Amino acid sequence: MEFKEQNYFADLEIDEYNLIEEWQNQAGLFMSYASSSADTQQELDDTKDRLDVKQAQVELDIRNGVYPLAGDVKVTDKAVAALVTNDPEVIKLKQQYNELKKEATLYKKIEQAFEMRKKALENIVILTGREQYAEPRDKSGDVETRITNEKEQKIQNKLNKLNQK
């Protein structure tokens, strides 16, 4: 099985200006990768089983004299292990197994990254909510206008005091 060319880096990015859509997509994206991870793990397990069976068949063939040996090879445990390891079909299955193992590991890491993405989304929502309510609000309108009006009022008060003297 070849690694599905899902663009997981792009899927892990968070558009903090579109949090609703990010939350709506989170579960679906996670399940998509989790499903691919499960498929890969199943294929890894199946390949491991085929590898084990093939190694056992080759070993049995060697010990029963069915496996073609070059010259007068003494059938010792070390010789059997070496012949099993160097069997072309065993080598091919080991390569498939190692590739699938790498892919399965990557999918597990992607699943962890999506868990981290979920936590990041939660924190962004919390921080965004705090930010919206933490800013000072002026119910009378524009802050600059209010400051200007206050300055004008102070100046007017001072002028009134001077005029009263």
- CA 163/CA 157 separation, integer angstroms: 10
Note the pLDDT tens digit of each residue in 40-73: 999 999 999 999 999 999 999 988 888 877 777 7
Q: Is pLDDT at 143 greater than 80 in this prediction?
A: no
pLDDT for 144: 73
Q: Where are the domains of the chain?
A: 8-134
pLDDT for 161: 77
What mean pLDDT value characterizes the chain? 86
Note the pLDDT tens digit of each residue in 105-139: 999 999 999 999 999 999 998 888 877 666 665 56
**1 in Cβ contact with 107 (< 8 Å):** no
Q: pTM of the full predicted structure? A: 0.68
Other CB atoms within a 10 A radius of the CB of residue 104 amount to 21
